[in-house]
Amino acid sequence: MTPLLSAFLLVAGFRAIVEGQDGIRMGLRVSLRRAFLTCCFVAAVLLYHATDWPLLTILGGWAFISGMSIFISRPMRFKTLRDAMTASVARLAMAILVLHVVIGVYIEGVVHPAWLMAAVPVIFTLIYIASIKWVFGRWLEKVPIEMPYDQDLRHRFQPERIGMVRSKVIYLPMNALFMGLFSTGRVWLSDRIVAGLRSIELKAIIHHELGHATARHLRLRLGLLVVVYATLFGSAWFAFSTFASPRDALVGFIALTWTLMAGLEALAYDVAQRQEFKADAFAKAVGYGDALADAIEAIRRREPERKHTALYHRLFVSHPRHEERIKRLRL
């Protein structure tokens, strides 16, 4: 248990320092809150390991403090208090669900772990599909888009697979995304990006998204999700087969899972940033490098990106800095 907890504390401490440094140096309350949440999680795990307190008591305290931490990054208002209470209840419910499923499978033997390994990905996929349909049905409105498609764009992608989404109730940033595991997926443009960019800049953005489609980037991200599932179940198997005490096994499971997930998170963000550069390179290769740089510059002027320290940006942000992308596109 000691080596496992030591690794957990080392990784968590490093993460808290990076988050705290980003919050202090860049004046970001969000990063300070993340550092606080990391410390709260570590404290909860150590408290459960070192005391005989009931699991539900520690989970309740952790969920409440985590929810109330929203006041670090947001002003004191009734709406903020409501969101804090909602976050506390949601965190508590999710933690109880996950841990009791793990306890039921690996300690009480309610079902065989193989059933859990088969069921969880299927359930997650169904929830994901249902949530996407719910978001598009309730929050977003799909709108036909009219723009001059040149011949090279028609050759690479069917215009009917490029659409615009308009928000009904939420704020949409100037953004675009590709959805689909195959090159026949769809490119969605927010209404704000359509209204804010010139035609050639929009075509450059679309070619960037086609770069993601051509390189099958979403398949790699799906592969990382499979690795996450394997890590989750592998950590549970290791912890509950190594430690005789159910309490120690649960602590080992949480510590090992969180430590490995922290590494996978950093890997996922690194992959995402590399994919953005590759998608930019695709647009540049077909003649839209300057136009894409102009589009990124226009987006940066209208919606300035949040400034982070270099290390924080490398570890916890999915997109490279705008300046770096523009510099590569204009070379």
Please check the confidence at residue 219 and state whether its pLDDT lies above 90: no
SS3 54: coil
State the pTM of this model: 0.85
Check pLDDT > 90 for residue 261: yes
CB neighbours (10 Å) of residue 282? 21
* Tens-digit pLDDT profile for residues 265-322: 999 999 999 999 999 999 999 889 999 999 999 999 888 888 899 999 999 999 999 9
Q: Which of 6-15, 191-200, 265-274 has the lowest mean pLDDT?
A: 191-200
Nearest residue to 296 (alpha-carbon basis) of 326, 331, 328: 326
Is 168 within 8 Å of 138 (Cβ atoms)? yes
- Residue written as token pair 């899972």: 257
